[in-house]
Amino acid sequence: MADMQYPNVTVMDHPLIQHKLSILRDKATGSKQFRELVKELAMLMAFEATRGFQLAESTVETPIIETTTYVLAGKKVAVIPILRAGLGMVEGILELIPAARVGHIGLYRDPQTLRPVEYYCKLPEDISERDILIVDPMLATGGSASAAIQFLRERGARNISLLVLIAAPEGIKEVVECAGDVRIYAAAVDSHLNDHGYIVPGLGDAGDRLFGTK
Ligand code: PRP
Ligand code: URA
């Protein structure tokens, strides 16, 4: 479902996605199930986010006859998780697109300023030739996603999509203002951010829930 205010924002209202997201939000859901759900949600979202991929005509010989078929046109893909929590979304996407390369951008939010601090980056060498899927479960202030987009742009990346599970309106606005051509896919857009920069109602700290660090 395209957002009326922002044409490049798609909120995925598929019943399977909404059902899994409800369990993910529940504070009683433990790390094991949380990880499984993040993986499944990423896979379902990637299915929709890759709808625009180009096809090329091919031929195949079935046991009956030779026929025209359609295969992916060969555009290369890079999945870029924003560490840490983005890591939880990588495996599900690689199950759908096994030939994709994976680049990592390490950013954490300074708890006082809420600004992203970069601590790691390793990207595929041919990043400028790839369709990019940035993945991160949470889009809160939008600082981390905008920094990652800027970082990738400086290295020549052009065709960028951002897949998040939960977005705050503040984060969407920030990314649209910084990078209006980036397509944003979210399973939900929540109400607002609280005073600590957490999404309300959200799901809490995605990294801590994925990795059991709190
Ligand atoms: C979380 C989340 C995003 C960021 C979103 O990461 O995974 O990367 O916050 O917030 P923002 O939109 O306000 O930048 P966090 O900084 O907690 O790091 P972690 O993944 O290592 O826990
Ligand atoms: N990061 C998280 O993990 N959760 C939020 O609600 C906001 C930022």
Kindly list the protein residues whose Cβ atom lies closer than 6 A to any atom of ligand 1: 82-85, 108-109, 114, 116, 136-145, 171, 197, 205-207
Cβ partners under 8 Å of residue 62, min gap 6: none
Span from the CA of 108 to the centroid of ligand 1 (angstroms)? 6
Alpha-carbon distances of 206 from 62, 112, 150, 182, 193, rounded to whole Å: 46, 18, 23, 23, 15
pLDDT of residue 5: 80
**Catalytic position from the list 35, 153, 183, 205:** 205
Q: Which contacts (CB < 8 Å, 24+ apart) does range 116-119 have?
A: 116/143, 116/144, 116/147, 118/147, 118/151
Grouped pLDDT means (10 residues each) for the chain, 214 residues: 80 96 98 98 95 94 98 90 97 96 94 91 94 97 96 94 98 97 98 97 98 94
Q: Could you tell me if 184 and 151 are in contact, meaning their C-beta atoms sit under 8 angstroms apart?
A: no
Q: Could you tell me if 56 and 73 are in contact, meaning their C-beta atoms sit under 8 angstroms apart?
A: yes
pLDDT of residue 109: 86
pLDDT of residue 74: 73
Q: Give the Cα separation of 184 and 64 in Å (integer).
A: 43
For the entire predicted model, the pTM comes to 0.94
- For 29-53, the three-class secondary structure string (H helix, E strand, C coil) is CCHHHHHHHHHHHHHHHHHHHCCCC
Alpha-carbon distances of 128 from 74, 114, 155, 158, 175, rounded to whole Å: 15, 29, 7, 7, 20
In angstroms, the first-to-last Cα distance of the chain is 35
pLDDT of residue 75: 73
Q: Could you tell me if 91 and 73 are in contact, meaning their C-beta atoms sit under 8 angstroms apart?
A: no
Q: Could you tell me if 160 and 182 are in contact, meaning their C-beta atoms sit under 8 angstroms apart?
A: yes
pLDDT of residue 4: 61
Residue 109: both structure tokens together: 């939010």
State the ligand closest to the CA atom of 164. Answer: 1
SS3 of 205, please? coil
Residue with tokens 């922002």: 6
pLDDT of residue 136: 98
**Catalytic position from the list 25, 109, 153, 183:** 109
For residue 169, how many C-alpha atoms fall within 13 Å in the half-sphere facing its CB?
A: 8
For residue 179, how many C-alpha atoms fall within 13 Å in the half-sphere facing its CB?
A: 26
